[in-house]
Amino acid sequence: MPESGYYNSKKSDDLCEDFCGENSRSPLSTRLKCALRGFDIKALLLLFIGVPLLVLFIHIHGQKITYFLRPLWDSPPKPFNVIPHYYHPNVSMETQCRLHGWRLRESPRRVFDAVLFSNEIDILAVRWNELSPYVSEFVLLESNSTFTGTVKPLFFSENRAEFAFAESRLTYGTVGGRFVKGENPFVEESYQRVALDQLIKIAGIKEDDLLIMSDVDEIPSGHTIDLLRWCDGIPEKLHLQLRNYLYSFEFHLDDKSWRAAVHQYRAGKTRYAHFRQTDDLLADSGWHCSFCFRHISDFIFKMKAYSHVDRVRFAYFLNPVRIQEVICNGADLFDMFPEEYTFQEIISKLGPIPKSHSAVNLPGHLLQNADQYKYLLPGSGNCRRDSG
């Protein structure tokens, strides 16, 4: 009852007044009590328990809080110039080029698809099958080191037989890890990208050929690459807007993926990069499926090998039972807030991703082999992963 509390503290104040007043002969202990009379017991609790708890909370959740407050310390990147994208399977290439303000070429450009490979075997199969009709040369580089400097098997090399359809057009290379302890993972990543630049040259790329620069899980749609190889007048560098999915094509997060890019190759100038290089962004050009793995062990591997390994703040994040639950719920593996630039967007994205029931306009290879890729498709129970 607040009122009686008020009277109680009033009373003790009066008591103090009686003892202390101007009477300097009171015993020390009483004077100490009096000195503290301004603080009531709640204030003391707050000071000696609340403040340390708050410090501990900020220490544990600091990164989370920083993300939630992002709209205060970060401003959104400059908006892209989004190029409308026109496509229907029955519309001729000449019409498609014209709809974009481009002109049909007499022959298509050559296309090089270059990736740095980690362990995404299934997604690589989906990617290469999607792009195969349009790609002249596949370029794949893998290292025996993850970006965070732990030893990894050469997964592609072990599974190479599965990719026989690409073998005659494949330039495969490996690079040894540097295994520097405690280094920022972005250093190893950029070292591997430089090695990939060399491999692209070895693959025989020439002036004007198209070079796809994207992570394995950023998959341009085949018809997008077909359009770009057949039309003159396309921007020299172009980012691709992809639909963002998490864990499978059941969880459609947003359409904001933009890192994938297609460049017309310029000898001595073109560098393989994964950051923003131009303002032009072609709308609705494919799919970005993050953490789309078959085995729980692949999730654990990726969480540790990832350039943002600092997000694994607690050992229990790597618990397989927790990971399976997070996948089926469409929740966040790292228990983070959405990476957005306004509070409105952060709040609208809080909580799990709603399930999508659409498997329309997905990579063809997925549906042609639906039994094999069930875990990537919408449908009840499909979110369960092999525990191995």
Ligand X SMILES: *[C@@H]1O[C@H](CO)[C@@H](O)[C@H](O)[C@H]1NC(C)=O
Residues making contact with ligand X (CB under 6 A)? 90, 144, 151, 174, 176-177
Whichever of 172 and 247 has its CB closer to ligand X, that residue is: 172
Whichever of 88 and 269 has its CB closer to ligand X, that residue is: 88
Whichever of 61 and 152 has its CB closer to ligand X, that residue is: 152
Calpha distance 137→151 (Å, rounded): 28
The identity of residue 262, as a single letter, is: V
Whichever of 75 and 90 has its CB closer to ligand X, that residue is: 90
**Smallest gap from residue 370 Cβ to ligand X (A):** 23
**Smallest gap from residue 151 Cβ to ligand X (A):** 5
Calpha distance 220→32 (Å, rounded): 74
Whichever of 77 and 89 has its CB closer to ligand X, that residue is: 89
Yes or no: say if 80 and 281 are a contact pair by the CB < 8 Å rule: yes
Whichever of 4 and 90 has its CB closer to ligand X, that residue is: 90
Q: DSSP states of 100-115 as a string? A: TT-EE-SSPPPEEEEE
Tokens 């693959």, located at residue: 203
**Smallest gap from residue 177 Cβ to ligand X (A):** 6
Ramachandran area for residue 182 (φ above 0: left; ψ -120 to 50: alpha; else beta): left
Yes or no: say if 83 and 280 are a contact pair by the CB < 8 Å rule: yes
Whichever of 174 and 369 has its CB closer to ligand X, that residue is: 174
In sequence order, the β-bridge partners of residue 237 are 263
**Smallest gap from residue 346 Cβ to ligand X (A):** 41
Question: What would the 3-class secondary structure string for 148-209 be?
Answer: CCCECCCHHHHCHHHHHHHHHHEEEEEECCCCCCCCCHHHHHHHHHHHHHHHHHHCCCCCCC
**Smallest gap from residue 270 Cβ to ligand X (A):** 26
Nearest residue to ligand X by CB is 176
**Smallest gap from residue 347 Cβ to ligand X (A):** 42
Calpha distance 278→312 (Å, rounded): 32
Whichever of 176 and 268 has its CB closer to ligand X, that residue is: 176
**Smallest gap from residue 153 Cβ to ligand X (A):** 9
Calpha distance 371→354 (Å, rounded): 24
Calpha distance 277→98 (Å, rounded): 26
Distance between alpha carbon 99 and the CA centroid of its chain, in Å?
33
